Amino acid sequence: MFDSGDFSETPLWYKDAIIYELHVKTFFDKNGDGIGDFKGLTEKLDYLESLGVNAIWLLPFFPSPLKDDGYDISDYYDIHPHYGNMRDFKNFLREAHHRGMKVIIELVLNHTSDQHKWFQRARKKDAPKKWRDFYVWSDKPDNYLDARIIFQDFETSNWTRDPENEKFFWHRFYSHQPDLNYDNPEVQKEIFKIIDFWMKMGVDGMRLDAVPYLFEREGTNCENLPESIDFLKKLRAHVDRYYQNRMILAEANQWPEDAILYFGNGDACHMAFHFPLMPRMFMALRMEDRFPIIDILEQTPPIPDNCQWALFLRNHDELTLEMVTDEERDYMYRVYARDKAARINLGIRRRLAPLLENHRRKMEIMKFLLLSLPGTPTLYYGDEIAMGDNHFLGDRDGVRTPMQWSADRNAGFSRANPQKLYLPVTIDPEYHYETVNVENQEQNQTSFLWWVKRVIAMRKNFKAFGRGTIEFLHPDNPKILAFLRKYQDEIILVVINLSRFSQVVELDLSPYAGYTPVEVFSKNPFPVIQEKPYIMTLGFHTYFWFVLKKEVVASPEKKVREISLLKSKSDWIELFSSQLKTKIESMILPQFLMEQRW
């Protein structure tokens, strides 16, 4: 076990992080206008601290027309007035750091809003080449035809004709998001200025949006080009030169062999999302077979020691199914999105709880997997209380509804007239905010919220989860996923029953003969491992973390120790103001507390 108190000052802090993702507008409305703001988020930092997260990832909060929920940025140097002002952001940043929390913000590298001054300047008919070259233009929409269209439900081409200058501009996403021209050195300089602005302010990390699409080259699919990797290496060198303990995270929805390009040789991005793993975790649970998880992780090449995968179950977008085969996508649609209204682009726009039919054990298994596999886990706001969604709202707004704090009006999110809320609160009978909210679950220690708190707190005691190796076991029973996480002298055995029925499994743990598996939550020792197969009987959807200890742990029944007895002639109130207070604090209480299971 290790002390996580040094988290904030560690260069590799992102390996030990528990990231919490949220949009400022969704979390808490302090000024009563129906939209969450930085003052409200700052007020709820104590909640996040109690949850156990130590890094906050903020979705875009910059000035924007909000046609794409803020990913269409019109000014990189300010705060959208809906969310407050720069003073509010700096106060939030200071309070987060005071609690030992890192702050990660978005940097949308690939494109801007068509309302950005750069584009307004570039689109003019008589615009000089210096301004025009900030974006990618063509007289005809017949270049880069091998590039796929990402938002297939909304766009039919990656080119759009601008009525002002009658030329076509290039965009990989929505037509109101023109792509920047990274072949122009002036664009790269502007990006470095933006990074300096926010890094000097004190942000700890940046999620780089849509990094596979920065450059375009004829005859390619315009993804994962060497030029993009070279630019990211320049960006990383700049960050390392001028700032300490900062992190950049690549959002690259690619197959593992392509995604690892964004690590470089440990000199590009510190982190990257492991997109292909996410759908396969859902597949494994539904199929009751460990194969999809083991298969994709065995396809994942090793990464540099100073790099880390970022893992997630759900985020602010759809459960993307781009990095699966057509057959796998059809299967996922059949079992997780029978209602076609839940499908969008190549994904499913549902939250975790509705995806798993609000099945408590299944949600626990998925969270347990997220916290057990190699990488840094990312939690999406509201999933810790099993919030529902409304997939009948437009685009992906169904998974971006207000955080549910209490059974009060507007789910305790805002004092505004309900009609003023940026999105309606969830009133689905199964996930209604009057039932599913933080206040209710904080009062019930068997709630999903308390379960999440306990598992996060336990995970933070072991570096093996964030930094260790993984070694899969291959028992004959395919419904059991078992693996070892190892780091220095820590050995963690993870055993998960993916089946809805009880199972028996024989694990080959012979290399650890003589070790005792100790269940981490109860501290109960299990039978000592021997050379022969280790037999376990598992209930439905059961999961375990065991610490393998070399020494034999005595059973609790055999351990008998008298409780310390303190005698004093003085009044018991005076006892705590006398010299005995020091003895109680330094000797008696610490020894007693260390021996308690809790």
Per the CB < 8 A criterion, the answer to whether 410 and 418 are in contact is yes
Of the candidates 209, 216, 318, 383, the residue annotated as catalytic is 209
Query: Of the candidates 74, 216, 212, which has an alpha carbon nearest to the alpha carbon of residue 138?
Result: 216
Tokens 């720069």 belong to residue: 86
Pairing assessment for the beta strands 137-138 and 168-170 based on DSSP bridges: antiparallel
H or E segment and range at residue 543: strand 543-549
Count, in order, helices (H) and strands (E) of the chain: 20, 21
Distance CA 365, CA 499 (A): 11
Residues 6+ apart with CB under 8 A from 551: 516
State the helix-helix crossing angle for 326-336 and 277-287, rounded to 10 degrees: 60
Residues 6+ apart with CB under 8 A from 163: none
Per the CB < 8 A criterion, the answer to whether 394 and 423 are in contact is no
Residue 200 phi/psi, 5-degree rounding, is -65, -30
Distance CA 550, CA 533 (A): 18
Pairing assessment for the beta strands 247-250 and 205-209 based on DSSP bridges: parallel
Query: Of the candidates 489, 490, 495, 455, which has an alpha carbon nearest to the alpha carbon of residue 472?
Result: 495
The torsion defined by the Cα of 314, 317, 322 and 327, in degrees rounded to 10, comes to 60
Residue 414 phi/psi, 5-degree rounding, is -155, 150
Distance CA 464, CA 489 (A): 9
Largest separation between any pair of C-alpha atoms in the chain: 96
Q: Tell me whether residue 288 is one of the annotated catalytic residues.
A: no
The CB density around residue 528, as the number of other CB atoms within 10 Å, is: 15
Residues 6+ apart with CB under 8 A from 437: 385, 404, 405, 406, 407, 411, 412
Query: Of the candidates 152, 142, 54, 82, which has an alpha carbon nearest to the alpha carbon of residue 414?
Result: 82
Distance, CA of 177 to chain centre? 25
Of the candidates 88, 204, 251, 383, the residue annotated as catalytic is 251
Residues annotated as catalytic are 209, 251
